Structure 1
Amino acid sequence: MKKYVYDFSEIDRSSLAGVGGKGANLGELCHVPGIAVPGGFCVATKAYRDFVNTSAEFAALLKSLALINAESPEELKTAGQRMRAHLENLDIPAPILQEIIRAWRKTGSQHAYAIRSSATAEDLPGASFAGQQDTFLNIEGEQNILDSVRKCWASLFTDRAIVYRQKNGFEHDQVLLAVVVQRMVFPEVSGIMFTADPVTGNRKIVSIDASFGLGEALVSGIVSADLYQMKSDKLLKKQIARKETAIYARPEGGTVRVEIQSERQTAPALSDEQAVRLARMGRSIEEHFGSPQDIEWCLAGNEIFIVQSRPVTTLYPVPPVHDNKLHLFASFGHAQMMTEAMKPLGISVLRTAVPFSKSSPRAESGLLLEAGGRLFLDTTQLLEYPQLRKRLPEILFNVDELLGRTMQEFIRREDFREAAPPGKKVKFALVKKAFPTAFAILRNILYRENYRAIDEMNRFITEKVNENRAKLQEVSGADRIMQIQERLSVMLPMVFAAVGQYMGAAIITYKLIEGLSKKWLGDAVELGSISKSPPGNVTTEMGLALGDVADVVRNHPAVIEYLKQANDATFWEGLKAVPGGEDVLPVCLSFFERYGMRGTGEIDITRPRWREVPTQLVPAILSHIKSVRPGQHRLEFLAGRQEAELAAARLVARLRQTPRGGFKARRMQRLIKVHRSLIGIREHPKYFIVQNLDLVKQIILQEAGKLVAVGILKNPQEIFWFSLPEIKEIIATQRVDRRVITKRQEKFRHDEKLTPPRAITSEGEIITVKPGAQVPPGALAGSPVSAGTVEGRARVILKLEEAKMDQGDILVAPYTDPAWTPLFPLAAGLVTEVGGLMTHGAVVAREYGIPAVVGVDNATRNIKDGQKIRVDGTRGFVEILE
């Protein structure tokens, strides 16, 4: 762009760099058929650049701005005032001034104008700078127009704009400012329209806010607005507000706030016909831009004018589907205790591992779909079976109570019932295939001696992992990736076929112990203790082993000091060099040989393993040394086992005192024996899966190393930005498109900031439900998963590698997976944002006998680190005591 000023008709969305986000969108709006846009022009970013470059001081002021502390209000205020005052007193160069005046006269010097900033980083799909710079309304006359343009340029340095750029990683000199000069419309009614419901995210609903007068009153939040919601040209909701004030243009320029007459305050701002017409215009604009829009509009003389449209940046992306069915997508991350964004390879591996809805074993599953860097399970096909509609929510309750409640809510909805096909019947072949497992579960509960089950599972895992390793070592190149795809495709069916009979029996017996205790005794008070310290849980054994490492380390002060400043690159060499390191080294190496494949978020193979970043475990080791006596972790485990035995004996003794007590006692003894023998297998499937994922990661990095050696990749980790089929193609062609890497890195940075929903529909609606717990006023509700009540200091931990805990602290975390197990011996209680009765944190909390509440929305935000809190793991809520 060479000119300083452009008419709206001369610009479109490709003009972003020259006229900023607002200007580019306005120009694009002029090309949408049937949309009326008040005329105007844009003063381009080139004008701003040439304007500030006339100042010898500007560059120095800009440099000093980067050095201020944005957290200091006084420092921020002083710096902002200095910048604005300097620019507002700077002369506009004559060529710029002349072009602005020419454009103003051409558009109509007799009109009043709205003058708004348009930043190059504004109104974009990934960032909204709306409201960061100033707006000037009802401006008339040549000098006032020029002064307002200059004030717009200066408003690039309002306090809020400076802070916003610093917090969102934008350099002050990288954001340029254009200015939109647009003819004023003096409307009877104006407002904002979202072509997707901004609260629920539903893309099928158009939501309109409307009030009297100019829209600035509504945007600035000083007036109430009527709400109209439309779906398919039907008015779903009309909510009329009391509109006590409005902002109108003054004849002499500027605006004035006016009190609305009492009889008009509750009158609808729009007729139903006007609302429907407006919604149709919104859909046309959305279709033109290709994404949901936030639209400013006004109504004058029954004509609707559009004065701005920008992308809605707050909506969570919808998993892609290619039909018109109503789908429900359940968050895979909430079920697997890993809600962070994943890179393309991590997503591809998991989609390949799911054995359903695939065109071939090597393909990626159509049931598991990506949105916002997370995976979602498309439950639509499952819900077509009436029996699964009943059972699936119950199953999800064990995984995440809120997820189960969300599915129940969805199934009850009229739109789902209308869209649901006639009930499908489960094929006999599937029932026949499941029958052996069901029979084995029944056999395990009724009469089988299960003492060998743990050893059988350990042997199975070792054999299969070694078999997979051998298969992958036999091939190389693209054949290796194909072998990975085949190994992944059978991994889940293989492990669940092996473990199903044991886990099914363990879960059913737990439910039977609880149900029969309540039926025969009226309570289940012993239930919490019965699950403590069961044998064979590989995750609990890992926590005990790390305690053993800490006990060896505690005897060597030099090693403790070394660990405080160790880094991953030289971890093992540095450990050898310090006094006592040779004693500690064999114990550490033994631990890492067995558990080094684990790590936080371990279902994503692109996440680092302990073997790769050993310092992740340092905080847990140091906290253990500080807060736990030598050998205490082993003694507490044994004490838990004794407590479980005593609780079982108490329960049986109580039953003997009831009618037919002998019969009841024998049944309960059997259930307890089966449950304690088998519940330790709960963590074995994950243990098997993680070992295989680690093996896959090592193999892929080996192939990536070959690509680095020939200059195709810059480093092995760049392979994480590609799916398995793409990696196969890269190896075969020996070529890579580096633009793909850059684009996916940008997407990942954007996705990291998103908060994934538990469930979202194909219409984009995020369904929210409340936990079932009845809570006291002010308490935070969740799901009770480990009984008991405890008070203590909240230790809010977002990342395991930053964990610092003392004995008796209450662990508050987004989620816990097996990598968090080392913190449980220190914790007096547990609070997580996701989880259910049978998820990792719940199971381990019961084993350690600590009260736990999971599924507490925004727990890590609402609870502050160091606050005293009370956790009621029996009723399912958390109270903040101070």
Structure 2
Amino acid sequence: MWQVAYNHSSTSAASTCSQFVAMTVLLEGAADFSPEHCNEICALLNSGDVLSAEVPQGLANLALQIEQSGRAEAFRKQDPQGAMSWLKANLTQVYYNVLQFLDEHGHRAIMEFDMYTKPWVLVPEELMKILQNMRITKQEVQSTKTDAEIIAALTTPKKSSTRKVLAWVLPLCRRTVRHRESTKAHVILGVHKLRLAAIRLGALLTRRWYLPQQDLVFFFRAAELADYISTRDPALLRKAIQRHQYYSSWCKLKFAELNTGWIQPLPAHVPTLTTGGVRLEATAVCGGDVVARACVVKDLSEINQLQQGDILITYATDIGWSPYFPLLSGIVTELGGLISHGAVIAREYGLPCIVGATHATDMFHTGDMVRLVGSKGVIEKVLVETSADAES
């Protein structure tokens, strides 16, 4: 596992290096990096084939199969806890396709590096909730452009030599993004195997009256757990219980992207808004212009507010958010860069996306009608005129 982690670090460095080279070449000596430059770098970084994209594609395919079966409404009426059993009895092929999906991607989840997180394979009812909310009438396939077509579509390069260098850099950019995603997937699989071992250990310790509940096994340090099994020291158990109690509030803490010295959480801060409206500029990672309802998700418990066609506004995304991507018309994150997970998937699906939108989750609210201009890195609140307003 450590070798895989080392490889992931190496491929992440290679992705950053190729990104830096491409940005430097594209600037052609200019001092400032414009939104147009950023948008074109994103086109260069689009790998066209990443593991993260397989998850939303697989979910969309399952949802399409359910729609085409003619039993979609009956499926949506099922309790998520019993939806898998209903599929087995009524849509057998879809049921086996869901099992195959869980076998391939079930170890992925939101906050997937946290061993305490329950991935989809352990809570398949969460996957059922997503499938019940999806409305897909046809399989959307993103057209894949050739390297020559991508280079030809660039508008900012002024020199022919720039395009020649970019044609050489482009395969490197795309390959390093793919490798970065692949090595991360192997690291997460290693984490999941450790998670399963910890769950098994927790169940055994609970059965033998070492622990009052098996999830507490995740809140010991490794050395503490070894000592506790040997001594049953109640002080160590109290520590684990206390950490379990604080876990939900600790998960809500935010930290700076760069830290030196003792790491401190960022102070709570709500930006001051003017009467001129709500408008925010950030880093463009995928172009497009869309007006839609905003869904602000500060905590995963709020994800049930998400509706088909919403623009998701959240702090950050990882592959655990992938099942929701087919529902979206745009993505805005407070954290992230040009090759962050949200940016990579947005480009794969052609979703307008901006990242680094600081305080976006405080400035906008679920239900706001917003306009997201991905090519310019702008999101703003808008008023939609109704027919009644127009007549008056």
Within 5 A, what are the aligned runs for 1:422-461? none
Give the one of 100, 104, 116 matched to 1:606. 116
Equivalent position of 2:201 in the other structure: 703
Q: Does 1:879 align with 2:380?
A: yes
Deviations, residues 174-226 of structure 1 (Å, cap 9, x unaligned): xxxxxxxxxxxxxxxxxxxxxxxxxxxxxxxxxxxxxxxxxxxxxxxxxxxxx
Alpha-carbon distance in 1 for matches of 2:264, 2:13: 38
Greater share of helix: 2
Q: What residue ranges of structure 1 are gaps of 5+ in the alignment?
A: 1-486
SS at match of 1:608: coil
Contact 1:505 1:674 in 2 (8 A): no
- Note the C-alpha offset of 1:708: 1.9
CA distance in 2: counterparts of 1:615 and 1:509, whole angstroms? 45
Q: Deviations over 1:57-107 (max 9, x none)?
A: xxxxxxxxxxxxxxxxxxxxxxxxxxxxxxxxxxxxxxxxxxxxxxxxxxx
Deviations 1:237-268 (Å, cap 9, x if unpaired)? xxxxxxxxxxxxxxxxxxxxxxxxxxxxxxxx
- Which amino acid in 1 is paired with 2:193? L
The answer as to 2:340 corresponding to 1:839 is yes
Which residue among 319, 325, 335 is the counterpart of 1:824? 325
The 1:527–1:749 alpha-carbon spacing in structure 2 relative to 1, beyond 3 Å, is closer
Letter in 2 for 1:729: D
Structure 1 residue 701, shift from structure 2 partner: 1.5
Match of 1:744 in 2: 243
Pick the aligned partner of 2:154 from 628, 651, 654.
Answer: 651
- Structure 1 residue 491 displacement after superposition: 4.9
CA 1:493–1:761 in 2, change beyond 3 Å: closer, same or farther?
A: closer
- TM-score relative to the length of structure 2: 0.80
Matched, 1:575 2:87: yes
Residues 528 and 849 in structure 1, CA contact (< 8 A), matched pair in contact too: no
In structure 2, the residue matched to 1:784 is 284
Partner Cα distance (1:528, 1:563) in 2: 37
Q: Once the two structures are superposed, what CA deviation does each residue of 1:602-643 show, in whole Å capped at 9, x if it has no partner? A: 11110111011112223432343x2x33222xx2x2x2x138
1:593 deviation in Å? 0.2
1:802-847 per-position Cα deviation (integer Å, ceiling 9, x unaligned):
263323x311123211111233344232112222233211222233
- Evaluate the alpha carbon distance shift between residue 583 and residue 860 of structure 1 in structure 2; reply closer, same or farther with a 3 A threshold: same
Q: How does 1:95-106 map to 2 (within 5 A)?
A: none
1:707 shift after superposition: 1.2
Q: Deviations over 1:458-483 (max 9, x none)?
A: xxxxxxxxxxxxxxxxxxxxxxxxxx
Is structure 2 residue 61 aligned with structure 1 residue 548?
yes
Number of the residue aligned with 1:682: 180
Cα deviation for residue 563 of structure 1 reads: 5.0
| 1:129-148 alignment runs, 5 A limit | none
| Matches of 2:203 and 2:85, distance apart in 1 | 23
- Using the alignment, how far apart are the partners of 1:725 and 1:709 within structure 2? 21
Q: Contact 2:282/2:354 (CA < 8 Å) preserved in 1?
A: yes
CA distance in 1, matches of 2:105, 2:330: 25
- Pick from 296, 305, 308: which aligns with 1:796? 296
Cα distance, 1:739 vs. partner? 3.2
Larger Rg, first or second structure (1 or 2): 1
Aligned partners of 2:248 and 2:150: how far apart in 1?
50
Structure 1 Cα separation of the partners of residues 166 and 203 of structure 2: 57
Task: Evaluate the alpha carbon distance shift between residue 820 and residue 613 of structure 1 in structure 2; reply closer, same or farther with a 3 A threshold.
Answer: same
Paired residue secondary structure (1:791):
strand
CA contact (8 A) 2:12 2:180 kept: no
**In structure 1, the residue corresponding to 2:109 is in which secondary structure?**
coil
Distance apart, 1:552 and its partner CA: 1.8
Change (3 A) 1:694 1:560: farther
Q: 1:818 to 1:806 in 2, by over 3 A?
A: same
1:599 Cα deviation from its structure 2 partner: 0.9
Distance 1:769 1:751 in 2: 17
- AA at the equivalent of 2:145: Q
Residue by residue over 1:320-368, the C-alpha shift from the partner in whole angstroms, topping out at 9 and shown as x without a partner, is xxxxxxxxxxxxxxxxxxxxxxxxxxxxxxxxxxxxxxxxxxxxxxxxx
* Alignment-mate amino acid for residue 647 of structure 1: I
Counterparts of 1:610-621 in structure 2, within 5 Å, are 610-621=120-131
Q: Quote the residue 2:361 is aligned against.
A: 860
Match of 2:19, as an amino acid? I
Equivalent-residue separation in structure 1 for 2:189 and 2:108 (angstroms):
8
CA deviations 1:748-806 (Å, max 9, x no partner) are 35545x643426975969589999xxxx8642343333344432221233428526332
Residue 806 (structure 1) aligns with: 308
What amino acid does structure 2 have at the position aligned with 1:549?
A: L
Deviations 1:289-326 (A, max 9, x none): xxxxxxxxxxxxxxxxxxxxxxxxxxxxxxxxxxxxxx
Post-superposition offset of 1:586: 1.3
Whether the 8 Å contact between 2:8 and 2:180 is mirrored in structure 1 is no
Task: Quote the Cα distance in structure 2 between the aligned partners of 1:599 and 1:690.
Answer: 9
Deviations 1:105-161 (A, max 9, x none): xxxxxxxxxxxxxxxxxxxxxxxxxxxxxxxxxxxxxxxxxxxxxxxxxxxxxxxxx
Displacement, 1:744?
Answer: 2.9
Q: In the TM superposition, what are the counterparts of 1:295-306 in structure 2 within 5 Å?
A: none
Alignment partners' CA distance in 2, 1:733 and 1:719:
15
In the alignment, is residue 724 of structure 1 matched against residue 225 of structure 2? no
Return the match for 2:350 from 830, 844, 849: 849
RMSD: 3.6
Residue 682 of structure 1 deviates from its aligned partner by 3.2
Counterpart residue type for residue 784 of structure 1: A
8 A Cα contact 1:712 1:736, kept in partner: no
Q: Which amino acid aligns with 2:308?
A: D
Instruction: Give the partner amino acid of 2:171.
Output: K
Change (3 A) 1:732 1:762: closer
Aligned partner of residue 565 in structure 1, secondary structure: coil
Residues 354 and 377 in structure 2, CA contact (< 8 A), matched pair in contact too: yes
Aligned residues: 370
User: Residue 595 of structure 1: CA displacement?
Assistant: 0.4
1:554 aligned counterpart, secondary structure: helix
The corresponding residue for 2:139 is 631
Report Cα offsets for 1:264-296 as digits up to 9, x if no partner: xxxxxxxxxxxxxxxxxxxxxxxxxxxxxxxxx
Bigger RCO (CA 8 Å, 6+ sep): 2
**Cα 1:610–1:648, aligned 2, differ >3 Å: closer, same or farther?**
same
Taking the aligned partners of 1:825 and 1:516, their CA distance within structure 2 comes to 37
Matched letter for residue 112 of structure 2: E
2:51 to 510, 515, 538: 538
CA distance in 1, matches of 2:96, 2:149: 38
The alpha carbon displacement at 1:647 in A equals 3.3
CA separation of 1:608 and 1:512: change in aligned 2, threshold 3 A: same
**What TM-score do the two structures reach when normalised by structure 1?**
0.38
Q: What's the CA shift for 1:693?
A: 0.7
Deviation at 1:537, TM superposition (A): 0.6
Query: How far off is 1:698 after superposition?
Result: 0.6
In structure 2, the residue matched to 1:514 is 26
Give the residue type in structure 2 aligned to 1:612. L
Structure 2 equivalent of residue 712 of structure 1: 210
Instruction: Name the one with the larger strand percent.
Output: 1
The structure-2 alpha-carbon separation of the partners of 1:567 and 1:787, relative to structure 1 and needing over 3 Å to count, comes to: closer
In structure 2, relative to structure 1, the CA distance for the partners of 1:770 and 1:530 (3 Å cut) is farther
Paired residue type of 1:585: Y
